[in-house]
Structure 1
Amino acid sequence: ANEFKKNEENISFKDKLLSTLSQNAKNELLKYNLLDDISNYKYTMSLDCNDLNALLDSDEIAVYFNDYIDDMSDFTPNFVKSIEFLKDSILIIRFYQKLDLKIINDVAKKIKLLFGKKVPIILASQSDQSVNRIHITFIGTASDIVM
């Protein structure tokens, strides 16, 4: 079930993903250049389109992070809106060498400290690339936007 996504399958996955998202969700993903990362062939599992649609459909993206980290101090989420708490979130961690559960726990702990809520880890994957860095994609939504 968790087969490696080949590049040619990636196109149909992206099309399928786009067809299930609301226009607002598509705009948000394109605005922050997250669509390619979400459907990237490097992932060993694909995100469930319904999960993504449910997350992004009725709420606004309030916070995101999409970059490599060398240590935990590099992981500082970008705020799109001023918020007190997250309604939902997706956390994707790509490991290029060794899957370290401590890193997952540290990232989740940092998010919980920021928002007072446990974050569901939708995907943690490993690649055979020789890059010795960790890549994190984090998207959080909020329905109650504080102005």
Structure 2
Amino acid sequence: MSAHQLRAHCRDQLRHEIGILTTKSGGIADAVATRLTQTNITKLYIAAPDYENAIISVMKRRFPFTKAASDVILPGKYKSDNYVYSLVDQEISQRSDYFIKSGFSMWSAFVAFFRESMSKTTIDIQDLPGYPEAVRKLHLWMK
């Protein structure tokens, strides 16, 4: 397989998997909502990449106190700097009382590592009751 064919295959696979995430966003949100209710959490910050906007939208509709990177206001020179947004997401996630990490994400694993050193609660989203089986089987990026 040539490098061009490999890139095209990876791009197509990623599109397919993002499509599954989008169609299952309600089930993912339900699984998170169940955990929020069980733990009496009323405020939620979602640190997620842009392709998970469907999940973020569902959570914002269900929980009015939900915030995400799009709600963060940075000083002018940093407004278009995704690295700075990621650092802000990371800091909020590390300091939060509770963190649900994605099993697909090295970024989440990094946050979980620091949280573990502070003895803070972190669980994998795939372990939530009701998490869609179709999403659990995906092999996005760095599983």
- TM-score range normalised by the length of the shorter chain: 0.3 to 0.5
Q: Provide the TM-score with structure 2 as the length reference.
A: 0.33
Higher helix share: 2
* Relative contact order higher in (CA < 8 Å, ≥ 6 apart): 1
Q: Select the structure of larger CA radius of gyration.
A: 2
